[in-house]
């Protein structure tokens, strides 16, 4: 089974053969053992070296510049969009914030085929709702990435700000329809 799928050619252009092998091993371990904890992956990683050396190997690999958002992940997202979505259909983006254990994450995902693919996220340094500046920091690179595509941005009531809607309209040369859930308004 080829764990790299149809991204294989792109990945092999961007990474050295040993980096490709490390990526394949990590993806395999994550998919089989359903964990992303480096301490657990270290114990499972099949290198004949000390456990501490395995941990350092994994940590060094995950911080290489070749795996940065703009250099590695965003081009893969473009490949996914091209291969998985029919055009000229709209791309539905979902803006959401979630609390995962003690980590507050603001995320934008691409919806399709009954799934949502996280495209970009930001770890928030505070608890609770995100502010407009943080939301712009997550939305802006994704809209740039998907420039030329028909985009619809959706979000729940946490993101109902009129300022965000005005910013989207002003920021974009093209119109980006947005659908934000609003709080209930009483008729009384």
Q: Write out the chain's pLDDT in tens, 188 residues.
A: 466 777 888 899 999 999 999 999 998 998 898 888 899 999 999 989 999 999 999 999 999 999 988 888 888 888 888 877 765 578 888 999 988 778 899 999 988 878 788 889 999 999 888 888 898 899 889 988 888 888 888 888 777 666 676 677 776 555 565 555 545 555 55
pLDDT at 177: 59
pLDDT at 62: 92
From residue 78, alpha-carbon distances to 87, 114, 122, 146, 153 in Å are 13, 19, 20, 8, 17
pLDDT at 175: 57
**Homologous superfamily of the 86-180 domain (CATH):** Ribonuclease H-like superfamily/Ribonuclease H (3.30.420.10)
pLDDT at 24: 92
| Domain residue ranges of the chain, discontinuous segments joined by + | 5-67, 86-180
pLDDT at 61: 94
pLDDT at 1: 45
């Amino acid at each position: 089974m080829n764990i790299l799928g149809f991204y294989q050619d792109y990945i092999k252009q961007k990474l050295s053969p040993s980096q490709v092998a490390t990526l394949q091993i990590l993806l395999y371990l994550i998919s089989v053992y359903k964990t992303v904890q480096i301490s657990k992956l270290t114990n499972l990683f099949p290198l004949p070296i000390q456990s501490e050396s395995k941990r350092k190997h994994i940590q060094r690999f995950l911080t290489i510049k070749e795996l940065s958002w703009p250099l590695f992940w965003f081009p893969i997202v473009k490949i996914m969009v091209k291969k998985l979505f029919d055009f000229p259909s709209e791309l539905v983006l979902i803006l959401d914030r979630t609390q995962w254990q003690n980590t507050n994450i603001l995320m934008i995902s691409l919806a399709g085929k009954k799934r949502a693919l996280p495209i970009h996220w930001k770890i928030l340094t505070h608890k609770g709702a995100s502010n407009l500046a943080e939301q712009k920091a997550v939305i802006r690179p994704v809209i740039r990435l998907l420039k030329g595509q028909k985009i619809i941005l959706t979000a729940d009531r946490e993101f109902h700000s009129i300022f965000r809607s005005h910013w989207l309209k002003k920021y974009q040369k093209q119109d980006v329809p947005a659908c934000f859930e609003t709080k209930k308004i009483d008729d009384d």
